[in-house]
């Protein structure tokens, strides 16, 4: 490796010096502070093509309820489903006057995890469909779960665990949580696997959860720097297309594992999110404003009516009892409010501090931010929920 060093007695020392310089440099670089607080793993900001769950849904019956099921007179679908189930079991109930309250029609939902194998179990959620009041103590009968293509991918059955409860008496009732919805842990068995082969992919698509041109380019550059070849390319703000390198042929899992651990700094547009119903304001760190003067004050007029009763003197034959109105008016012009000037390019912290200095609450702050945007001084998008 170092064959060019031929002087006797010094080969070991020179070899030590050649290795010592890179080692010391690596140690010094490791000790330097690296600003990684704003960086995120690619795993946390993208989704890989094909690595996704699929939604399943089914219709079934819950039995064993303590008189809290569907009224068969009000839920004909429950009655027909019950009769059909009994006929499949060899019981003729067409002519019988069914009037049970221990059965409820339910919708069963579940998520089929990516690459789930046949025979593995998944959790299912059961929700009442009719006028059942409580699913506590009920048992879900065998229910097929189908996907969007109409194929059966799982079958569910089991005892329902309900988080809430409902208790009623003659004059009062208490309901906690939602007793008409429950969950069956490991209540579904996968019968069919999704037809997707990850190992056969010649290229992989990475979909950004928050689309952005800059973030997509940074991801592509980070992948190319790691692989050492121009294999990744940002095709749009949502997609990064990566071709499988030659040294990862047939090892897609290893490639994805290495790629998703790389760190990049996501970029985002300056945006202000406003929820007017709750008065919540969320502002991104890139929000900037131009020079603007802000003053906030409300004119408050309070009118108080205090009626007084005027009565005549005792044993008087001439006077009558009268109600005399008394009105008190108070006007508050908020004269203690001040004018605040925010300079050009102030940060999010300066903006919040300036508005807080005026004693402004969240509700008034929403109006002020919208007014600043209307004046063209807010360099951000406002999204009202």
The answer to which of 43-52, 54-63, 68-77, 368-377 has the lowest mean pLDDT is: 368-377
Q: Residue 35: which pLDDT band, with cuts at 50, 70 and 90?
A: very low
Mean pLDDT over each residue of the chain, to the nearest integer: 78
Q: Report the alpha-carbon distance of residue 373 to residue 380 in Å, rounded.
A: 8
Q: Report the alpha-carbon distance of residue 352 to residue 365 in Å, rounded.
A: 9
83 and 165 share a domain? yes
The residue ranking higher by pLDDT, 367 or 132, is 132
3-state class of 355 per DSSP? helix
User: Does a structural domain hold residue 213?
Assistant: yes
pLDDT of residue 213: 92
153 and 102 share a domain? yes
Which of 151, 166, 190 is the last residue in one of the domains? 190
Q: Which of 133-142, 198-207, 248-257 shows the highest mean pLDDT?
A: 133-142
99 and 215 share a domain? no
Q: What is the mean pLDDT of residues 220-226?
A: 93
The answer to which of 91-95, 138-142, 220-224, 228-232 has the lowest mean pLDDT is: 91-95
pLDDT of residue 299: 45
Q: Is the pLDDT of residue 300 over 50?
A: no
73 and 184 share a domain? yes
Q: What is the mean pLDDT of residues 366-382?
A: 77
pLDDT of residue 8: 43
Q: Count the domains in the chain.
A: 3
User: Does a structural domain hold residue 205?
Assistant: yes
Instruction: Give Cα separations from 63 to 72, 74, 158, 197 (angstroms).
Output: 13, 17, 11, 40
3-state class of 285 per DSSP? coil
User: Does a structural domain hold residue 157?
Assistant: yes
3-state class of 339 per DSSP? strand
Residue 366 CA, distance from chain mean position: 23
- CATH number where 204 lies: 3.30.70
> Measuring CA to CA, which residue among 108, 145, 137 is closest to residue 124?
108
pLDDT of residue 91: 85
pLDDT digit string (tens) for 252-292? 888 888 998 999 998 877 778 877 777 777 777 777 777 66
pLDDT of residue 4: 42
> Measuring CA to CA, which residue among 185, 89, 103 is closest to residue 137?
103
228 and 337 share a domain? no
User: Does a structural domain hold residue 128?
Assistant: yes
pLDDT digit string (tens) for 140-150? 999 999 999 99
> Measuring CA to CA, which residue among 117, 114, 110 is closest to residue 145?
110
Neighbours of 83 (CB within 10 A): 17
> Measuring CA to CA, which residue among 187, 176, 141, 181 is closest to residue 162?
181
The burial class, CB within 10 Å (0-12 / 13-18 / 19+), for 240 is: buried
133 and 216 share a domain? no
Q: What is the mean pLDDT of residues 44-50?
A: 87
Instruction: Give Cα separations from 22 to 2, 28, 34, 147 (angstroms).
Output: 15, 10, 19, 57
pLDDT of residue 37: 46
60 and 152 share a domain? yes
pLDDT of residue 341: 57
The answer to which of 45-54, 67-76, 204-213, 275-284 has the lowest mean pLDDT is: 275-284
Q: Report the alpha-carbon distance of residue 360 to residue 279 in Å, rounded.
A: 12
Which of 190, 212, 244 is the last residue in one of the domains? 190
Q: Is the pLDDT of residue 127 over 50?
A: yes
Q: What is the mean pLDDT of residues 330-344?
A: 55
The three-state (H, E, C) secondary structure of 301-327, written as one string: EEEEECCEEECCCCCCCCCCCEEECCE
User: Does a structural domain hold residue 141?
Assistant: yes
| Helix/strand/coil percentages in the chain, nearest 5 | 25, 35, 45
275 and 244 share a domain? no
Neighbours of 366 (CB within 10 A): 20
Domain assignment of residue 220, given as a range: 198-264
3-state class of 214 per DSSP? helix
The residue ranking higher by pLDDT, 353 or 134, is 134
The answer to which of 252-256, 277-281, 353-357, 378-382 has the lowest mean pLDDT is: 353-357
If you compute the radius of gyration of the chain from its CA atoms, what whole number of angstroms results?
Answer: 35
User: Does a structural domain hold residue 27?
Assistant: no
Q: Report the alpha-carbon distance of residue 126 to residue 132 in Å, rounded.
A: 12
Q: Is the pLDDT of residue 11 over 50?
A: no
- Name residue 263's beta-bridge partners: 41
The residue ranking higher by pLDDT, 139 or 194, is 139
User: Does a structural domain hold residue 377?
Assistant: yes
The residue ranking higher by pLDDT, 341 or 217, is 217
66 and 176 share a domain? yes
Which of 190, 207, 223 is the last residue in one of the domains? 190
Q: Which of 77-81, 222-226, 326-330 shows the highest mean pLDDT?
A: 222-226
Q: Report the alpha-carbon distance of residue 168 to residue 182 in Å, rounded.
A: 20
Tokens of 376: 């063209």
Buried b (16+ CB within 10 A) or exposed e, 301-338: eeeeeeeeeeeeeeeeeeeeeeeeeeeeeeeeeeeeee
184 and 250 share a domain? no
64 and 125 share a domain? yes
pLDDT digit string (tens) for 56-115? 999 999 999 988 888 888 888 888 888 888 888 888 877 667 788 899 999 999 999 988
The residue ranking higher by pLDDT, 37 or 104, is 104
229 and 256 share a domain? yes
Q: Which of 159-168, 183-192, 258-267 shows the highest mean pLDDT?
A: 183-192
User: Does a structural domain hold residue 296?
Assistant: yes
């Amino acid at each position: 490796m170092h064959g060019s060093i031929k002087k006797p007695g010094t080969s070991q020392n020179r070899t030590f010096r050649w290795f010592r310089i890179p080692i010391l440099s690596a140690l010094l670089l490791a000790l330097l502070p690296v600003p990684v607080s704003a960086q995120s793993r690619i795993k946390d900001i993208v989704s890989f093509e094909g690595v996704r769950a699929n939604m399943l849904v089914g219709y079934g019956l819950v039995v064993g309820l303590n008189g809290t099921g569907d009224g068969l007179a009000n839920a004909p679908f429950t009655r027909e489903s019950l009769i059909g189930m009994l006929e499949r079991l060899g019981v003729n109930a067409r002519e019988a006057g069914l009037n049970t309250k221990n059965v409820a029609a339910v919708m069963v939902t579940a998520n089929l995890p990516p690459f789930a194998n046949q025979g593995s179990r998944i959790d299912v959620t059961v929700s009442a469909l009719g006028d059942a009041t409580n699913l506590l103590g009920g048992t879900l009968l065998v229910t097929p779960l189908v996907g969007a293509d109409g194929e059966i991918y799982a079958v569910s059955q089991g005892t329902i665990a309900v988080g809430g409860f409902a208790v009623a008496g003659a004059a009062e009732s208490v309901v906690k949580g939602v007793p008409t919805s429950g969950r069956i842990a490991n209540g579904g068995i996968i019968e069919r696997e999704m037809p997707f082969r990850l190992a056969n992919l010649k290229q992989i698509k990475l979909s950004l959860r928050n689309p952005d041109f800059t973030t997509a380019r940074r991801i592509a550059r980070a992948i190319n720097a790691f692989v050492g070849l121009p294999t990744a390319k940002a095709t749009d703000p949502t997609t990064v297309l990566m071709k499988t390198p030659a040294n990862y042929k047939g090892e897609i899992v290893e490639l994805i594992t290495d790629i998703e651990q790389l760190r990049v700094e996501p970029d985002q547009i300056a945006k202000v999110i406003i929820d007017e119903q709750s008065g919540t304001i969320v502002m991104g760190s890139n929000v900037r404003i131009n020079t603007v003067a802000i003053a906030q004050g409300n004119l408050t007029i309070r009118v108080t009516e205090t009626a007084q009763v005027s009565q005549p003197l005792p044993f008087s034959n001439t006077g009558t009892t009268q109600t005399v109105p008394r009105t008190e008016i108070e006007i508050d012009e908020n004269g203690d409010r001040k004018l605040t000037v925010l300079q050009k390019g102030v940060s999010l912290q300066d903006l919040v501090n300036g508005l807080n200095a005026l004693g402004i609450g969240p509700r008034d702050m929403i109006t002020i931010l919208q007014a600043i945007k209307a004046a063209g001084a807010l360099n951000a998008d406002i999204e009202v929920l």
